[in-house]
């Protein structure tokens, strides 16, 4: 029996589940809470000379005050493209372009908008949980194939499946903590 196969499966599982959690965190971070945060716009794709490029690669993003985001393009020629990308996004703010920088002023969220954002957060978190569970399902198939091929015993399979469940619960709990934090942030007035 070779323990190396199981170790390889678990290295892959840990890596993929961690990436799923990080992705979910990024998605939750991009949800608007009424406060300005660079995460709201840095992943916005801008049509820059025919290429779709994340905003964070085209401009510096600063928060000079609580509800204002200042976007300073590295290339002044990209100003209009950045402005258009913001207008086409679901941010719900109008960019103010002074020819050098773009200023985004976030109005306070209404109670109705906050509730809608909480629903969006729940959907993003559920997508993250599904991604983690899909990794678990794929790993379980790999482990069962190893047992079928005689690479691991059924006892080793049982131990590995218990470890797989523990890892899954750990990563789902991490997503849930991120969701709870975002929900608290959204509902705080």
In whole angstroms, give the CA distance from residue 139 to residue 161: 9
What is the H or E stretch that residue 27 is in?
helix 3-29
The crossing angle, in degrees rounded to 10, of helices 3-29 and 154-187 is 10
Same domain, 125 and 153: yes
Same domain, 21 and 69: no
Handedness of CA 121, 126, 127, 128 (dihedral sign): positive
| Residue-range definition of the domain harbouring residue 139 | 3-29+110-187
Say how many domains are in the chain: 2
Tens-level pLDDT at each residue, the chain (189 residues):
457 888 889 999 999 999 999 999 988 887 877 677 788 888 888 888 888 989 889 899 998 887 888 999 998 888 889 988 888 887 778 888 888 899 988 877 788 888 888 998 999 999 999 999 999 999 999 999 999 998 888 899 999 999 999 999 999 999 999 999 999 988 876
Same domain, 54 and 81: yes
Q: What is the mean pLDDT of the chain?
A: 88
Q: Is 150 helix (H, G, I), strand (E, B) or coil?
A: coil
47 has which bridge partners?
52
Percent of the chain whose pLDDT exceeds 90: 41
For 136-185, what is each residue's pLDDT tens digit? Answer: 999 999 999 999 998 888 899 999 999 999 999 999 999 999 999 999 98
Same domain, 130 and 145: yes
Last residue of a domain, one of 90, 105, 120: 105
Last residue of a domain, one of 105, 136, 160: 105
Last residue of a domain, one of 57, 79, 105: 105
In whole angstroms, give the CA distance from residue 128 to residue 93: 27
CATH number of the CATH domain containing 84: 3.30.1360.40
Same domain, 23 and 47: no
């Amino acid at each position: 029996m070779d323990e190396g196969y199981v170790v390889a499966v678990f290295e892959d599982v840990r890596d993929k589940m961690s990436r799923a959690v990080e992705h979910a965190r990024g998605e939750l971070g991009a949800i608007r809470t009424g406060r300005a945060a660079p995460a709201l716009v840095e992943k916005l794709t801008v049509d820059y000379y025919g290429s779709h490029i994340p905003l964070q690669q085209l401009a510096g993003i600063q928060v000079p005050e609580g509800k204002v985001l200042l976007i300073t393009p590295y290339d002044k020629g990209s100003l209009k493209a950045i402005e258009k990308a913001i207008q086409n996004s679901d941010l719900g703010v109008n960019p103010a372009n002074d020819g050098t920088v773009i200023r985004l002023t976030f109005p306070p969220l209404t109670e109705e908008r906050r509730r809608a954002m909480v629903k969006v957060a729940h959907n993003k978190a559920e997508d993250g949980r599904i991604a983690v569970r899909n990794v678990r399902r794929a790993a379980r198939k790999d482990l069962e194939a190893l047992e079928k091929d005689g690479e691991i015993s059924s006892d080793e399979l049982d131990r590995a499946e218990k470890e797989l469940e523990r890892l899954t619960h750990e990563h789902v709990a991490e997503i849930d903590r991120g969701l709870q934090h975002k929900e608290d942030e959204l509902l705080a007035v």
